[in-house]
Chain A
Amino acid sequence: MRTSKRLRTTGAIALTVAALTLAAACGDDDDAGDDTGPADDTAVVEPTDAGPGTTGSAGTTAGTGTAPAGDGEYVIGVSNTLAGNGWREEMICAVKAQSLASGSVSRVVSISKNGGPTDQIQDLQNLISEGVNAIIVNPSDREQLNPVIEEAIAQGIVVVAVDQAVTAEGAYVATNDQVEYGRLGAEWLAGQIGGEGRVLYMRGIDGVPADADRHQGFTEVMEGYPDIEIKEVFTGWDFTKGGDIAVQELTAGDYDGIWTSGIDYTVVNAFETVGKDPVPVVGADNNAFIGQLLDGKPGAAVTNPAVIGGVGTAIALEALSGESPEQTTLLTPQVWDAESSTADLEANYFEDRDDTFSSAVSVEGYTSYTPEQLFACKGPGE
């Protein structure tokens, strides 16, 4: 009696488990069907070149992604290891939007979750197993991913590292020029304050490559201005913390200008908190900051486009179509201030977007989607 009961017990466990997973499996077969349906539709659009039709700018891809008709149907994989971060999410949306706009992609498979190089190696291997044609990766390490990236390339997959570089041979790299980011903002600020005075220098996180690069650019410029006194602080790229530091610093003393590593709009708000007149603030292309500049607050936005993901996609599609894009693409930031680039500021302010939305929504010569396609954040077939 007991024996059979125990056997039954263990059998039941196994069965429950099996049933559970099978149930989940069946439930998702339908989804898979849905996925392929619309995907085929977009594929049909592409060869007919119905540009102004359903897919918007599919026909006007600015020379990129014009895959020869017939062998379209690419699957693009995305790997990101910082989830829940607005900038990174926008980066992924740009991959989806560019894939949709190009008309030559059937599906975007995205793996976006928190982790380090180990997790990302696993993610990349899973993408390779999925049979993707190209991988857009925001690498968590310069070197540790190389073996798996090289394996992907050996299997004929196009790999584009965006935002940060990898050293793997054969991988395309598309990054924003962070040294230039530091330099351009510093030059603008030095000019605004007439080459003398006190500057609050609000950096990001010590030891992070992007911070080190920006510091290099900033320092090179400031060496030419011995009359500028610099007070250095670290914000940890945290908007709340940056705002708090600004309040403390502005309460304690006066500054002629503030350079921030992208923690901008909370710093502008700090002037109001302490009741002082705002001085020029250098920030990034955060939506709220663009709004403040349009509002007449002194300052300049240095772009650090999150849509680098779209640039990477354009490069990947170009490589897939048999052309040979540049191995390394370094995007030079733009500087927007209210005096000389009001049009840019107006074109890149989106009232219904979040404060920290990266407002530089397109990169000339690479991206071809509309802002609406980016905001929708839907890839082909979704």
Chain B
Amino acid sequence: MTTVEPTVPGSYDGFATSLPTPTSRWSRLARRQGWTAGVAALLAVLLVWRVSQLPKFGAFEIRTITAGTMTLALLAMAQGVIVISGGIDLSVGSMMVFGNCLSALWMPDRGLAGCLLVAVAVIAITAALATLIGAIITASGVPDIIVTLAASFVLAGMALWVLDAPRSGVSADFQRLVAGRLDNPWPSVLWIGGVLLVLWLPLRRSRLGLAIYALGSDRKAAFLSGVQIAWTRVLAYTAGGVFSGCAGVALTASTGGGGPLASTGTTATLNSVAAVVLGGVALTGGIGGLVGPVLAALCLTLIPAIMLGLGWDPSNAETARGVIIILVVAVAGLLQLRRTRPS
């Protein structure tokens, strides 16, 4: 009775912790990608709905959606990686506007190569600034929500300092390369997908990526497992800074210029949080990926367009958008609760 080998899980009732029941491939897939699949389904429904509203649905209409989502998608990635690490960043929108202003300051009168060089420089600067913000949070012990809120005001001020009035005149070649002609959806699709594949996928699979997830799941456990907490936190913000910088450059490409309007940043930040939540990243950290937020960003772009097609007042459309987010997240939260309850 006492010396049976614990080969059969669960046969040791009451004595030792049983080994977890091995889960099947399918259930793992469902657990990991279930939410993303749900958002993809939502996106499909919205897309079909939108197509049915329009007199014609061609390249122009597709590009309206994809290029219109590009900045939000990139910003949602920035917010996503930070939220996964267990933090939050209320300055991503201002960082985007700052990057936008910086590139709009340097890009005019430059050729395509010059613009690309500026883009890289701008992304490096936003990454450095985000690193600094992360370092301040880690070193000071002041909650991230406060530091990043303060940083958002600082960045909005810096954007005004860089560019005191809207400015345009960015090379048309650069605009086309990033945002595409008005009838060409491909560049925007490829840039969103490219950033996911080239930046996010390797990061997720790397040691740092694992540490970011571990940190978000349980800080103490991560520490006990040898994760360098401080470094990982700071580097998560750095990654966020890279994505915010990309969003800023994408904004410059899609408008052909920049403007230091603070409200652009605030709205963008809030939308990024909405996309992250709708995209299945848990605000408590450690759960979710970046594909979900990108799909959610597409949904968030489609909803107002659909409301417009229905002839709704845009202010009602905003309300509807909020209600949809609350409902989806609440329903999902309830299901999650049911799942974790011992059966």
> A residues touching B (Cβ–Cβ < 8 Å)?
1-3, 5-7, 9-10, 12-14, 16-18, 20-22, 24-25, 28, 31-32, 35, 83, 107, 109-119, 121-122, 125-131, 141-144, 146-148, 151, 207
Contact = CB atoms under 8 A, between A and B. Distances in A.
B331 A143 contact: no
Given A112-B314, A130-B54, A10 B30 contact: yes
Contacts of A113: 314-315, 318
B256 A147 contact: yes
Given A5-B339, A10-B35, A129-B305, A17 B42 contact: yes
A128 B251 CA distance: 21
Given A9-B338, A10-B38, A144-B255, A18 B64 contact: no
Given A7-B30, A144-B257, A13 B64 contact: no
A110 B61 CA distance: 19
Interface in B62-109: 64, 68, 71
A117 B21 CA distance: 55
Contact of A13 (B71, B256, B320, B332): B332
Contacts of A125: 60, 64, 68, 182
Contact of A129 (B54, B71, B254): B54
A122 B68 contact: yes
**7 nearest A-B residue pairs (beta carbon):** A10-B34, A125-B64, A3-B27, A13-B38, A143-B168, A14-B38, A14-B41
Interface in B21-36: 21, 23-24, 26-27, 30-31, 34-35
Contact of A21 (B21, B45, B71): B45
Contacts of A25: 49
Interface stretch (B144-152, B190-198, B225-233, B260-268): B260-268
B83 to A, nearest CB: 19
29 contacts: A7-B27, A10-B30, A10-B35, A10-B38, A13-B35, A17-B331, A18-B45, A20-B324, A20-B328, A21-B324, A25-B49, A28-B310, A28-B312, A35-B311, A83-B314, A109-B311, A118-B254, A118-B255, A122-B301, A125-B64, A128-B60, A130-B309, A131-B54, A141-B166, A141-B168, A144-B166, A144-B168, A151-B182, A207-B165
Interface string B304-336: 110011111011001010001001100110011
B38 A17 contact: yes
A31 to B, nearest CB: 6
Choose among A13, A119, A121 the residue with the greatest number of B CB atoms under 10 Å from its CB: A13
A46 B314 CA distance: 29
Given A17-B41, A20-B324, A121 B21 contact: no
Contacts of A14: 37-38, 41-42
Nearest to B280: A13
A32 B263 CA distance: 33
B308 A126 contact: yes
Contacts of B54: 129-131
Nearest to B179: A147
B288 interface: no
Given A3-B23, A115-B264, A121 B254 contact: yes
A304 B105 CA distance: 34
Interface residues of B, number: 64
A35 B24 CA distance: 53
Given A21-B45, A125-B64, A126-B305, A13 B335 contact: yes
Choose among A31, A111, A146 the residue with the greatest number of B CB atoms under 10 Å from its CB: A111
B35 A111 contact: no
B182 A13 contact: no
Contact of A116 (B165, B263, B335): B263
Contacts of A21: 42, 45-46, 49, 324
B164 interface: yes
B61 to A, nearest CB: 5
A121 B45 contact: no
B104 to A, nearest CB: 10
Contacts of B71: 118
Given A18-B41, A83-B314, A83-B315, A9 B34 contact: yes
B55 interface: yes
Given A117-B255, A129-B61, A9 B164 contact: no
A126 B69 CA distance: 13
Contacts of B64: 122, 125-126, 128-129
Contact of B259 (A24, A130, A141, A148): A141
A24 B54 CA distance: 18
B42 A116 contact: no
A106 B320 CA distance: 26
Nearest to B260: A116
